[in-house]
Amino acid sequence: MPPEDDRKRARALLDGATAVAVLTGAGISAESGIPTFRDALTGLWEKFRPEELATPEAFLANPKLVWDWYAWRREQVAMALPNAGHVALVAIEEACRDRGVDFTLITQNVDGLHELAGTRRLVELHGNIRRVKCFDHGHAVKSWPATDGVPACPHCGSLLRPDVVWFGESLPGVALTQALAASQSCEVFLCVGTSTVVEPAASLPFMALEEGAKVIEVNPTRTPLTGRATIAIAGSAGEVLPDLLL
Ligand code: OAD
């Protein structure tokens, strides 16, 4: 089937949907210049595996190394802008809102680009690298002193850390509840730029399928979802998503 037919079918599914859920992964931010999760370890960091840095144990063992890695990633993110993929998802959300169609965007990304693009119904499953909290009590901290070491919480004195979910940590309860509800009640589930391997996010499109939803995947490479998706579009988010506008 010619590729444009898949996009036409996907657009028709979105057009007729009574409820839409979207799941995005690092792939949607690739065209904004942000390395996907497993590419982030370049340069100084290339000798580490994510699992060695993005964990509470790694932070406690070497707070400065982990804090500095996230400070570097925050700088990368601060220079990034939403791309055509992020913008297209805002347009789809607006079209849904105009029609009274429920829309929820669930992201695994921590870069904050969906919010920057204007997405309103946003569920950040893995937190947001632009936010900082303290290690012991989760006190949110808006600003912190520039220091060579790791800054301390002004409320309790414990070390500050990025407000992201690390390996081995549980996801924010409210976000997970919202993501599960949207995935189990949607009529169309759009899955963009995720390798669909990290749980519990990886199960969301399959839950949607089990509830009878139609699943559209947008990814340049095959994933465990590709063979099960109603429509699998091989392509990049920035190039494909504008073609799915209602
Ligand atoms: P991955 O790096 O595992 O996968 C990125 C996916 O995006 C791959 O399937 C690529 O083929 C695809 N991709 C690359 N460029 C793309 C583009 N321009 N348009 C569309 N897709 C593109 O990232 P995630 O699946 O997001 O969790 O990883 C999920 C989670 O694993 C992350 O959130 C992180 C990590 O453990 C935590 O940090 C808790």
**What was the pLDDT predicted at 2?**
64
**What was the pLDDT predicted at 92?**
98
**What was the pLDDT predicted at 68?**
92
Q: Name the H helices within the chain.
A: 3-15, 27-30, 50-53, 56-61, 63-78, 84-98, 113-117, 173-185, 204-210, 237-240
Q: Is 219 in a helix, a strand, or coil?
A: coil
**What was the pLDDT predicted at 19?**
98
**Rounded Cα–Cα distance for residues 161 and 136 (Å):** 10
Pocket flag, ligand 1, residue 111 (CB < 6 Å)? no
Pocket flag, ligand 1, residue 132 (CB < 6 Å)? no
Atom in ligand 1 nearest the alpha carbon of residue 37: 2
User: How many alpha carbons lie under 13 Å from residue 225 in its C-beta half-sphere?
Assistant: 35
Task: Give, for all 246 residues of the chain, the pLDDT tens digit.
Answer: 566 799 999 999 999 999 999 999 999 999 999 877 656 556 556 667 777 889 999 999 999 999 998 998 899 899 999 999 999 999 999 999 999 999 999 999 999 999 999 999 999 999 999 999 999 999 999 988 888 899 999 999 999 999 999 999 999 999 999 999 999 999 999 999 999 998 999 999 999 999 999 999 999 999 999 999 999 999 999 999 999 997
Spatial CA neighbour of 183 closest among 145, 215, 158, 159? 215
- Residue 243, classified by CB atoms within 10 Å of its CB into exposed (0-12), middle (13-18) or buried (19+), is middle
- Ligand 1, atom 6: nearest CA belongs to which residue? 194
User: What DSSP string runs through 57-109?
Assistant: HHHHH-HHHHHHHHHHHHHHHHT----HHHHHHHHHHHHHHHTT-EEEEEE--
Atom in ligand 1 nearest the alpha carbon of residue 196: 25
Atom in ligand 1 nearest the alpha carbon of residue 218: 20
**Rounded Cα–Cα distance for residues 92 and 114 (Å):** 13
State the greatest distance between any 2 C-alpha atoms of the chain, in Å, as a whole number: 60
Active site members:
126
What's the gap in Å between 136 CA and the centre of ligand 1? Answer: 29
* Full-model pTM: 0.95
* Residue 69: count of CB within 10 angstroms of its CB: 22
